[in-house]
Structure formats: structure tokens, C-alpha cells
Structure 1
Amino acid sequence: MINFVGCLIQSSVMKVIFIVLFIIVVVLYLYCRFSRRGRLFAKIPGPPRWPLIGNVHNFKLPRDKLFEYLRTLNKTYGDVIASGTLDVTAIHIYNPNDIETVITKCTKKYKPYTFLRRWLGDGLLISNGSKWQYRRKLLTHAFHFDVLRKYARTFADEAEVFMAAVDKEAVMEQADVNRLINKTTLRIICKTVMGTSMKEDIDSLTTKYLEAIHRIAAALFPRMLNFLLYLDITFQISKYGWEERAAIKELHQITKSIIKERKSYINSDNYKQNETEKILNKKGRLAMLDLLIENEREGKIDVDGIREEVDTFMFRGFDTTSVTMAYLIMLIANNLEIQNKIYEEMKSIFGDSCRLATIGDLKEMKYLECCIKETLRLYPAVPYIVRTITEEIVLGGYVIPARTMCQIHIYDLHRRPDLYPEPERYIPERFLPENSIDRHLFAYLPFSAGSRNCIGQKFAMLQMKTLMSSLIRKYRLEAVTKTADLKFYVDFVLRADRPIFVRFCPRKV
């Protein structure tokens, strides 16, 4: 009898719990669907949304399949697309007019950028408000023309090191472009922006750095697609949280060693006797890390703030330039007529001389600059950016509620046939001044735009010009990897699923 009563009570309790949970689910659904936010969201086109779980099933795909799926959205649903789950909503936009509205009005960055906070802290990529404004103003001095002119010599010196590595690969049937470029760009950013030569073996450092970044990406992308992992507590106890912490520990060790080495040099007699450093110091135009260290001495930034910015610029300055250079070399190898035009431009600047490129030479490389810009159109290093809409705005005729993540798909924007006829073709002439006059200001965003555009875009352009001018003068590039061979997957940058190979053929002297 007692057992029967106990079972009856237990059964009643379970029924009450079930009823309560059912009521909570129903109320939650009614709120998400019929609140003003929910009603506005329901009017926006997009993949069919299920009650409560929304579109989570559409996006829960392997990262290569997800990249392919994202390419279908604009063609299927138009220029403003909604997706989301529960009360977490996102829109996807592709029209330059809408993009201009968002970039000029919505400068705040929250999720998913905040998922990078344990790695990058409140560095320039993530921070908002007065902290971002102060750091942006401060670090802009590190990319003044006087500083870039000093870097040009380092670019040229590193181009010689790069060419020595290419010489070794020229005897092979094919060379791994990614491997060659990764080592070079990491060394350049260490020697210029960070002002250190890095005593660790560059091959080992490059491998360690890239592997750690890949591990963080593999941990964070499942988080973006799983509502339960949005919460820090659930993410931290998941296997992804453990993997992220291990990768971040390695990355922080690398950046801390860079800061330590530079501080040691600044305190040495060699630094104090360096006349160039003295001149730049008097003008307030120091290398980025030196600028941060000086501000630490003045109490304007702490050691964690320095690490935040070093982590941010190591990540954004190294990885984005590396992938762009690899795609540039591949495209030039696959387009011999364009390659010949670049070579003729180099001949007009250098003649038969083998001298290193100067800052003046780099300014004359107009056609090569068009080639780089067209590469960034086809293969933007950062294929999408996100802004948080903080107040209701109208995009494409739809009212977008506040607290909505807005994904700007740069990859698809750059391939719109109404903006770029024959969008899949590599046509550098698109970026000649006479062909760019009527283009919408927000139709081309390889470095983002507005107040939060890329602070190092001139640095990147000069670096790529220097390396390519040295390479194209000495070697003819033959295609091994074709553009059609590449497939991409969702990552921090536009990363292909395989290495890029070319064949280096020495030019006849």
C-alpha cells in the first residue's frame, strides 16, 4: 500500500513538472513569435523556421558544407535574410546600400566577436566605446607614412630571404605556396610591427602558431551554431572549452615572448644608440609594440592591454596577408597574360636591375596594385563581418529589431554580377581609376569600411607589392593548383581545403 501511494505521488509530481515545462515552452514560443521583435523578424525572408529552434538545423553542418550552404542564401531569398533560434536573431545582408547603413550606424561588436575574448581580450578587434577610440587613435600613429617608409627596408630585406627560399623550391616540380608565404609574413610582422627578430626557429614558430589558430577555430565554430554553448559556463565545461584553453595558452606564450624580447631590447644600449629609433621616437612615430610599451610606462595601458593588441595584430596582420598572397600567386600563375603585364610593369620600373624595391618603386606599381585588389575581390581574406544592430533600422524595406546580429557577407557582395560583370573572372582592370569611378563606396570591402576599417591595410599592400615584385622579376609562375580545385570552409579567414601549389620557372637573363 505504501509503495502504491509513493508511486502515485511520484507520478503526480512528474505530471506537474511536465505541465509546468509545457507551459514554459508554450509561453516562450508565444513570446518569441508574437512579441514586436518576433513579428518583425517573421516578415523577413529566410530558410523556413521551426518553432523555438528556428534555423539551427540549417546551419548545423560540417564547415565546408556550411560555406557552400551560405553561398545559396542570397540567390534563394534575396538581399535581406533572417535566421535565428529562440530570441537570438541574425540577418544576412548583401546589398551595398544596406551595408552602408549598417556600417555607418552600427559600430558596436558583440557576439560572435566576444567569443574571442579569452584569446584577444579587449583588443582593437573586439573593444567598444572609449577604450576602442583611445586605442584606435593611439595605434594609428604606428602606421604613419614615416613608419611605413622605415618598414619598406625590412620588407625588401625579407623579400631577399623569401627569394632564397623560393630558389630552393624552384628545382621541384611544384612548391607549396602557403608554407613559403606563412613563414615570410610571420617573420615580417615580428620584425616590423613588433620590432623583434624572434629567436625561436621560424618554421617551428609558424607551425605552432597556425596549429593553435586552427584549434581555436575548430572549438569556436560549433559554439556559434549551438545555442546552449552561447553561455560561458556551458562552453567552458564542454570539450570545446578545454580545447580552446589549451590553444590559447600556446598563443599567449608566443606573444608574451615577443613582448619580453622587445622590452629587453628597448632597455639595451643598442636601442638607445639607434639614430633612426631616436628620430621616430621624437616624432611620436614608433613601431606598434614600442608605442604600447611607452604607454605602459606612462600608466595609460597595462601589460594585459599590450598583450591584447599584440595578439590582435599577430592574428589579423599575419593570417590575412598570408592567405591573400597565396591566392594572388595562384591567380597570377593561372593567368599568363596578366602575369606578363605585371612583368612589363616591373621592367619599366627596374629595367634589368636586380636592386631591392624602394618605397618610391612601390608607389609606381599601379597594375600590380590592381591585381592585388582583384585578388581581394575574388578571395577576401575576411569573407564576412558582423555588427550588432542596437536600435531599429530599415534594411531592404524591412524593419530590423534592435539586438540583432547583422552578418555582412563580403564574399558574396564581391561576386554580385550587377556590381562586377563576369564576377568569377580575374580582371584586374576593374580597379583602374577610370573603371572605379561609379562603383558604390560599399561595394568593395576587403578591409571593411567606416570607422572600424582595417588599420593596417597600407602596411599589407606595401608588403605584398614588395614580395610579388621580387618574385615576378626572377621567376615565371606556372599553375599547378587551378582555381576550380579550391573548396573553402568557414573559418576566421577565407581558408581553402588544400595547399596551393605552383611551379617556379627561372626567367632567362
Structure 2
Amino acid sequence: MTTAAAVPGPAGNLLLGSLTDLVNRPLRTYLAARRDHGDVVRFRVGPPGLGVEFYAVFSPEGAQQVLGSEAANFRKENAFYEELRLSLGNGLLTSQDEDYQRQRRLIQPLFTRRRVDGYAEAVAQEAGALGERWRAAPGGVVDAAEEMSRFALRAVARILFGADVEAAVPVVRDNFPALGRYMQERGFAPVRVPRSWPTPSNRRGLAAQRALYEVCDRVVAQRAARGGAGEDAGDLLSLLELARGEDGEQLDRAELREQALVFLLAGHETTATSLAFALHLLALHPHHRKLAREEAESVLAGRVPTAADLDRLPYLTRVLKEAMRLYPAATLIGRRAVAGTVIDGYAIPAGAQVLVAPLVTHRHPDHWEEPERFDPDRFLPEREKARHRYAWFPFGGGPRACIGQHFSMLEAVLTLAVLLRDFELEAVDERVALGQGITLQVTSPMRLRVRPRGAAGAEAGTGPVHSNTPDPTRG
């Protein structure tokens, strides 16, 4: 068996190891590491003897081991998760052990398919409002990344806060990006100063955190003052308030806020990323856009979409899955190995920091033919069934798989159907630059020219298939 010391990896800089590459070119660095060194790669960050090491695992088999079959041995214990806990609280995303099991028991019934399907009306209303916004876009040009972030935030906030959405959205929109940057900076910093020090970064980050805490607490308190606490108002927050365990256990005020913040973060950034890249890729590929539009027109005609339409939109679902293959919102998932183990023939020592990388595994040439090519038919049922379960895992996997994945798919597919039915798309920016934040980041314009259907000169969508997709090695 290969020893830990023999795990291959880039030599990097003599003093800093791979630190500079991981900071400046994270996605390119991970893709190159798999190509040059294989499916388990050791990275050194910082000076020899003083820096840290971590192991990146790129094979589907390794991802399954970390997230699934040996999940109990791989815990959410690293600097990044510590910063998430300190910033957002100990909600479903960050909690562990008995805390996590308790929260999952209380919250799981809120995410059954029947419950989630009830949110389709709110999604459809927000998609309709987005269409009106696009019709008024100056010059008919919008930035897909910015527009989808705005849309997804409004959609998840509407579902979470219901009638209180208008009071909450501006606060969340203004402060979540700042808190996200703060968590990212501290989570990946080689040295973290105490949060109590009055540095500019601490002041900005903690001010954003206070604003978000206050708006969540205010909504909960106002409901109680109105006599609405403990009543089903049709939104997710009221369902969280009503959630009870078998012994009557429930979430307290602080836990309600923590779960709300987790849902806001996870529910809007991930879906926004998937939607933006799906639109961008369709704008680059007229043939696939034509097929997707024809399906949307056939299923929706001129009516508002419903949850029942999701199963009637298989091609759009495949488009979305292929966009999530090429550009998964969660590019990296970190864990700490409690006990030593063996992954793909390499010994991983106890205490090691381990990453699985959906963006790299999703492009693994042993599992994906021509992995850089956009091809929604990779997700035909028979082809999905023939692949390793963890060749595609944008929602994670195992016991900590994303609880909201059905909602994300419902929201994204129905929104794509509305936009493709109502607008012609053309890519203004054929290539975009990517970066690594808490989720995958677009660091350059991602503009689309959008024309309402039926406008004079609208393209028929039958042009040649565009072979380019955004290049992750630019990030």
C-alpha cells in the first residue's frame, strides 16, 4: 500500500508551496493537479514545517467514500466551516452529531416533494416579474450572473418570509455579499486575527452579520407581536416555527434565525449559479436552445408554470444538469479525516484535511467523454444509470446531501422554461472568467442580449452548434 508520504502532488514554490496558485488560479490548479498527478493529490500551503497539507480527491469512488460510505469518518471541521458557524450560526449546513440529527428530523418534513411543489406559484410569480424587468432592459442586454442572483434571492426570500419579503430583501441583498467575502477571506486565510480586533475587515463583516441577524429576528418578533407566531402563513419561516419533533421539541428563536440564514445562502447562490450558466450555455448553443425552447413552448404554451410541469420538461432538466456538471456551484467540499484511511490506494492520515472537488470530478475523462463539451443528452436516463453515482454530485451526497435539491431543480427548470418561451437569447460575452468563493464565482461580465419572442428579426435558433463553453482554467 502506498504511504501518505508517497501521495503525489505539485512541488509548488519552495517557500509557499501551492499557496499562490490556489489563491490566484484555484480552478486551474485543481484541474491541472488531477491531470498531472492523478486522483489523490497532496497540496502543501506555506513554508516547509510551518505550513499545512491537505489532500484533494478527484475520483467518483473517492468522493463516495468521503461523503457516503465513510461519512462518519469525515467531519465538517476546518477553518472554513468554523467561519460559517461563527457567521451564520449552527444551522443545518454546519451542525454535526446530535445537533444535526435533531435539526434534520425537524426540518426534513418541510422539504418533501409535496411541500416543495407548493412553492412553484411563488417561483412562477418571480419569473414573471423577471420577464417584465428584461423587457425594460436598456439596449436589451442583461448580465446573466447578476440577474440570476437577484432573481434567486427574491424567490427564496419570498418563499422563506412570505408577506415580509419586501422588508427583508434589501437588507439581505446589501449585506450577504459582504458577509460572504468576510467568511471566505477568514476561512482561507493562513493567519486569522481575532474577530474582536477592530480591523476594517472585521468591522465590515460583523456589521453585515448584525444587519442580517436583525432582519431575521425582526420578522420573527413582528409575527409574534401580530399574533401570527405559531400559525401557518404559507411560507417556510412559519413552517419552521410550527415544526415539532415526536417529543414536542421545536426550534427556538436563535435556531429559527440560523436556519433562515442558511436557507438564504444555500438557496439563492447555488440556484443562481446553475441558472446563469444554463442560460449562458444555451445562448452559445443554438441547436440545444431550439430544442429547449420547443419543449418549453409545447408544455407551457401561454400559461403560468406549475409544479406538475417539472416532469414534463425532461430536456430542460437535462440542460440544467449538464450546466451543473460543467459549472457546479459547490466546486469544493471539505472534510477532516478523524481516523486514518485509504482512498484509491493512498493512505490518508488521521486528522488530514480532505477535499472532494465536483468541478474536477465532473470533468474526469475516465467518466465523461469529451468532458469540456456541452451535451445535455449525457443525462438521458439510460446514460445516467450507467455512470458511477458520484461522477455527478452537485448537491453533495451521503447523509449530508443537500436537503433542498428538489426545490433547486423545480425553481431552475420552471424559470428556464418561462425565459426560453418568452425570450430569444444571444451571448454578448462568449467566454467568462471564473473564481472561487464560497460558491463558484463569475468574475467578468456574463452578458446576454434578450429579445422578447415575436420581435422583428428574432433569430430562429437553428444556427450551428457553438462548441465553446466558458473556460474554468481562466479562474
What interval of TM-score do these two structures reach, taking the shorter chain for normalisation?
0.7 to 0.9
Q: Whole-Å Cα distance in 1 between the matches of residues 23 and 227 of structure 2?
A: 44
Rate the CA distance shift 1:209–1:83 in 2: closer, same or farther, 3 A.
same
User: Which of 241, 247, 250 is the equivalent residue of 1:300?
Assistant: 250
Asked if 2 retains the 8 angstrom alpha-carbon contact of 1:215 and 1:243, the reply is: no
1:89 corresponds to which residue? 53
Amino acid at match of 1:430: R
Match of 1:65 in 2: 25
Could you give the per-residue CA deviations for residues 420-453 of structure 1, whole angstroms, max 9, x where no partner exists?
A: 1111111000001022121001110100011101
**One-letter amino acid of the structure 2 residue matched with residue 143 of structure 1:** F
Shift of 1:90: 1.5
Change in Cα spacing, 1:239 to 1:62, as seen in structure 2 (3 Å) is farther
Give per-residue Cα distances to partners, 1:270-320, cap 9 Å, x unaligned: x96xxxx49xxxxxxx75422332359966332221111111111110111
Please list the CA deviations of residues 60-88 of structure 1 after superposition, one character each: whole Å capped at 9, or x if unmatched: 45844333333321122211111346484
Q: How does 1:273-422 map to 2 (within 5 A)?
A: 277=232, 287-295=235-243, 300-350=250-300, 353-422=301-370
Partners in 2 of 1:243 and 1:299 — Cα distance?
Answer: 36
Output the aligned Cα RMSD: 2.7
Cα distance in 2, alignment partners of residues 337 and 464 from structure 1 = 20
> Aligned partners of 1:120, 1:290: CA distance in 2, in Å?
20
TM-fit CA distance, 1:40: 4.6
Matches within 5 A, 1:172-321: 172-200=139-167, 202=169, 204-205=170-171, 207-217=173-183, 219-221=185-187, 224-226=188-190, 228-229=191-192, 233=194, 240-263=201-224, 267=228, 277=232, 287-295=235-243, 300-321=250-271
Structure 2: which 5+ residue stretches go unaligned?
456-475
Deviation of the 1:461 alpha carbon: 0.8
Deviates more, 1:307-316 or 1:204-213: 204-213
Gap runs ≥5 in structure 1: 1-38, 279-285
| CA distance in structure 2 between the aligned counterparts of 1:430 and 1:401, rounded to whole angstroms | 36
Q: Which moved more, 1:366-375 or 1:70-79?
A: 70-79
Letter in 2 for 1:347: E
Q: Helix, strand or coil: the match of 2:288?
A: helix
In 1: Cα distance, 2:453 partner to 2:372 partner: 30
Amino acid at match of 2:389: L
Residue equivalent to 1:15 = none
One-letter code aligned to 1:380? P
Q: What is the deviation of 1:151?
A: 0.8
Instruction: Quote how far apart the aligned CAs of 1:456 are.
Output: 0.5
Letter in 1 for 2:217: K
What residue identity is the alignment partner of 1:99?
A
Secondary structure class of the residue paired with 2:11: coil
User: How far is the alpha carbon of 1:481 from its aligned partner?
Assistant: 1.7
Mean Cα deviation higher: 251-260 or 233-242 = 233-242
1:76 aligns with 2:41: no
Same amino acid, percent of matched pairs: 26
Q: Distance in 1 between matches of 2:183 and 2:155?
A: 24
Give SS of 1:313's match.
helix
8 Å CA contact 2:296, 2:421 repeated in 1: yes
Structure 1 equivalent of residue 463 of structure 2: none
| Aligned: 1:113 with 2:74 | no
Show the counterpart of 2:94.
126
Alignment correspondent of 2:116: 148
Which residue in the other structure is 1:7 paired with?
none
Work out which of the two has the higher radius of gyration on C-alpha atoms and give 1 or 2. 1
* Paired residue type of 1:344: E
Letter in 2 for 1:120: L
* TM-score, structure 2 normalization: 0.86
- How big is the shift at 1:137? 1.9
SS at 1:407's partner residue?
Answer: strand
Deviates more, 1:363-372 or 1:80-89: 80-89
Q: What amino acid sits opposite 1:308 in the alignment?
A: E
Give CA deviations for 1:195-240 in whole Å, capped at 9, x if unaligned: 34423385x446403432443245325xx241x42xx748957654
Residue 283 of structure 1: aligned partner: none
3-state DSSP of counterpart to 2:139? coil
Distance in 2, Cα, partners of 1:266 & 1:290? 12
Shift of 1:410: 0.9
| CA deviation after TM superposition for structure 1 residue 332, in Å | 0.9
Q: Aligned residues, how many?
A: 444
Return the offset for 1:166.
1.4
Q: Distance in 2 between matches of 1:66 and 1:147?
A: 38
Cα separation, 2, equivalents of 1:457 and 1:399: 33
How has the CA–CA distance of structure 1 residues 358 and 58 changed in structure 2, closer, same or farther, with 3 Å as cutoff? same
SS class of match (1:442): helix
User: CA distance change for structure 1 residues 460 and 173 in 2, over 3 Å: closer, same or farther?
Assistant: same
